[in-house]
A = this chain, B = another copy of it.
Amino acid sequence: MIVVIKSQTPASEIERIIQELSQYSATIEKVIGKDKVVIGLVGDTSVISPEHVQQISPFIEQVVRVKQPFKRVSLEYRYGEPSEVVVPTPNGPVTFGQNHPLIVVAGPCSVENEEMIVETAQVVKATGAQFLRGGAYKPRSSPYAFQGHGESALSLLATAREVTGLGIITEVMDTADLDKVAEVADVVQIGARNMQNFSLLKKAGATGKPILLKRGLSATIEEWLMAAEYILAAGNPNVILCERGIRSFDKQYTRNVLDLSVVPVLRGLTHLPIMIDPSHATGYSKFVPTMAKAAIAAGTDSLMIEVHPNPSKALSDGPQSLTPPDFVELMQELASLAQFFGRGTKSAFTTTPFATKTLSTVGV
């Protein structure tokens, strides 16, 4: 940490500042320039708050943090080695990680009834995707909008899991529902609006379940990593970071702006695996295929894509959901692009006859 002292600060005040700084367990070094005095705090300064230091004296011009404020999520914490999040599913363990094939999570925004979730799960399974998503508890901006079927939706997800063997990803919104959700979910999702719901982060961390942490609508990358740090600090290293679009000044043609540059940026900062959600980011199904491909080219480890058997009848987020035939077509394109980038998977689309059969069975 570096403390820059204002020009023409009296020597006695500088001494007082140094005195105050000596309360921290860090070595103090003073640099005297022509114009400015700069004080370096060296040692483990991660526990020292810059705002605290700033308050010591009005003669302090600037306090500069040199070390990053996150530890456990940092790339250095694993000596530059990317981490792998291995999720056990009925179909076998699935690994999210930089040196692993692309993972696809797909499904409807919310679980509406048994038929639709099982049908969708079968389509998802047939394309080679590994996880089914589906909301039981839905964060909706209006209290009058469909809020999700809650517990009963969780049991429908359990059914879909049983039928297809897919892993389940579903969102928790309230610490009170955490146990119920964690019982059914293979990966527990914390949504964008709750990214800084610190109580939820701590308690979700304590469950030990893999956590999918969506980036907040206007969360900086540092804030997002600090939110993940809450989960790791609670003893849970299994976190996947999901970019789902950020808020901008222009909402006319897309709901949010998909910030794909997070992929290379995060690679330099953290060992955690990355997911991209082009459905929520753009808000329109017609833009999803293009942005899914761009995400693969940017190097994402996984994708989350909304699919609904009948988007125009969806209880939520219909406009951004692909139909099953469109999803099947997209998955074929994605598989070949993933292959191009060396992130192809053996399972996907190799059992075409089965896939076709399943698809025809489910009426695609």
Binding site for B on A (CB under 8 A): 2, 4, 20, 27, 29, 31-36, 38, 40, 42-43, 46-47, 49, 51-52, 54-57, 61-62, 64, 66-67, 69, 137, 139-145, 147, 173-177, 193-194, 196-200, 202, 217-218, 220-223, 226-227, 229-230, 233-234, 246-254, 257-261, 263-265, 268-269, 281-282, 286-287, 290-291, 293-299, 311-314, 317-319, 337, 340
Contacts and interface: CB of A to CB of B under 8 A. Distances in A.
Contacts of A40: 31, 33, 38
A169 B51 CA distance: 24
Given A174-B175, A253-B221, A258-B261, A226 B337 contact: no
- Chain A: interface secondary structure? mixed
B173 A199 contact: yes
A147 B234 CA distance: 14
A-B pairs with the 3 shortest C-beta distances?
A33-B42, A174-B199, A297-B297
A13 B259 CA distance: 35
B312 A287 contact: no
A141 B196 contact: yes
B265 A287 contact: yes
Contacts of A199: 137, 173-174, 176-177
B257 A64 contact: no
Given A250-B221, A297-B293, A197 B197 contact: yes
A4 B61 CA distance: 18
A206 B199 CA distance: 20
Nearest to A233: B143
B250 A261 contact: no
A319 B52 CA distance: 8
14 contacts: A36-B66, A36-B67, A54-B319, A55-B313, A69-B142, A143-B229, A144-B233, A175-B176, A193-B196, A246-B250, A246-B257, A290-B297, A294-B298, A296-B297
A294 B260 contact: yes
Nearest to A285: B55
B268 A142 contact: no
A234 B144 CA distance: 11
Given A2-B38, A31-B42, A55-B318, 5 more contacts: A64-B64, A176-B199, A194-B197, A246-B249, A246-B250
A36 to B, nearest CB: 6
B34 A249 contact: no
Contacts of A217: 218
A21 B273 CA distance: 38
B220 A250 contact: yes
Nearest to A265: B253
Contacts of A291: 260-261, 264, 298
Nearest to A69: B142
A290 B298 contact: yes
B31 A35 contact: no
B286 A268 contact: yes
A173 B198 contact: yes
A142 B229 contact: yes
Contacts of A295: 294
Given A175-B175, A264-B291, A51 B246 contact: no
Contacts of A260: 258, 260, 291, 294
A196 B139 contact: yes
